[in-house]
Amino acid sequence: MNKLNHVAFIMDGNGRWGKKRNKGRNFGHLNGVKTVKKTVESAIRLKIPIVTFYVFSTENWKRPKSEISFLFKLITNYFKEELNNVVSNGIKIRIIGKVSKLPSQIRSALKKVINLTKKNKKIVVNLAINYGSKDEIINAISKIKKKICIKDIEKNLYTKNLPNPDILIRTGGRKRLSNFMLWQLAYAEIYFLDKLWPDFEFKDLKRIINNFKKVKRNYGSI
């Protein structure tokens, strides 16, 4: 049976979910955050040590300014309102991406939650914010001053000291990686779901994990 250390999520479909209900894209994002919370609770229940959520990519800056502003405000307010629950539930928050390029208000909120949860051990929740995998790889290589090998690059990625994802789950019906963890997902089992992110449920995660446990993982061997 395969050991499961890390599950990554591309949370696609929030905007379409809101528009289908004639309530706009931001309504979809609002409900998407609720699904993140439920998914973390499911991961704790299923004893998954690490989860990573693709929150905001380096390409998402192309979206309307009003939507970007709403997203950042949503994240900031969530950690203000849920901070005590996050801390008391043993959740350790980590951020991967170029945090320095984010607005000061969200940087401050993220810094606070990272500091208050750094000793928590029940589950690690990575939030990929202002994240682009190509950018991450270039950044890692730029730090290496000698002949490059695979281990040197891995030591300089945002995800250093973490195991690579065993599973990637992408909701929303699109079958692509969208510049997300291109290095780390080399041997991940990838599951594409047609349902939109706000509709993702415990039973979906459980079904995927049960399937993963039965998969033979060869890593290039026979």
- Enumerate the active-site residues: 12, 60
CA angle 81, 32, 203 (to 5 degrees): 110
CA distance 122 to 92: 8
Q: If you count DSSP H runs as helices and E runs as strands, how many of each does the chain have, helices first?
A: 7, 6
* DSSP H or E run through 123: strand 123-131
Residue reference for tokens 């439920």 = 38
Residue reference for tokens 């026979």 = 222
Radius of gyration of the chain (CA): 17
